[in-house]
Amino acid sequence: MPTILTITTVALVLAQFPAISRLRGSRVLGMFMIYLFLAVIGAYCDVPALLQDGTLAIWLLVIICIIVLIHAALLMGVAKLLKQDPDVVAVASQANIGGSSSALALARSLGRPDLQLPAILVGTLGNGLGTYLGFAVAEWLR
């Protein structure tokens, strides 16, 4: 079994114990870790290296940006038709695209503390399920 599956399984199992959620300082520690994670991700964003890899890297970046813009336009359009709160839709979308840490950052920047926990939960659920599904698809395609 790959190490990431073991770590994900242990984390998901431990998260179910009430004693873990009642630990003092867990929220502060969690916020610190998320900020650290975002800083590390930002430090690894090397645009000159992307430009150095040639046109394929640039085209992939352009295609990904187009996909995200279409996703946002469709999502916000449907949300407007269904009269949904745009903040909720934006945080859910960010959890879908960027995971729990970036969705949490968006909820905080919008000044919506009521969306912070859902951002973490939806993003974490997506990461947890995505890890297992990704490995399952990779094994299936082998």
Contacts of 93 (CB under 8 A, 6+ apart): 71, 72, 75
In a domain, 119, yes or no: yes
Residue 43 lies in a domain: yes
CA distances from 52 to 5, 42, 57, 137 (A): 34, 19, 9, 32
The residue ranking higher by pLDDT, 49 or 69, is 69
Residue 78: band (very low, low, confident or very high) from pLDDT cuts 50, 70, 90: very high
Helices (H), the chain: 3-14, 18-21, 26-43, 47-52, 55-81, 86-98, 100-109, 116-141
* pLDDT at residue 94 greater than cutoff 80: yes
Give the whole-angstrom CA distance, residue 104 versus residue 109: 9
The one-letter code for the residue type at 123 is G
Is residue 118 situated within a structural domain? Answer: yes
Once rounded to an integer, what is the mean pLDDT over residues 83-104?
91
12 is a domain residue: no
Residues of the chain with pLDDT > 70, as a percent, come to 99
Look at residue 5 and tell me if it is in a domain. Answer: no
Confidence of residue 93 (pLDDT cuts 50, 70, 90): very high
pTM over 0.75: no
Q: In the chain, how many domains are there?
A: 1
Report if residue 102 sits inside a domain. yes
- The domain of 123 spans 27-141
Do the domain assignments include residue 45?
A: yes
pLDDT at 1 over 90: no
**56 compared with 108, residue with greater pLDDT:** 108
Confirm whether 31 is domain-assigned: yes
Q: What is the DSSP letter of 23?
A: -
Q: What is the spatial distance between Cα 62 and Cα 69, in angstroms, rounded to a whole number?
A: 11
Q: What's the whole-number mean pLDDT along residues 129-133?
A: 88
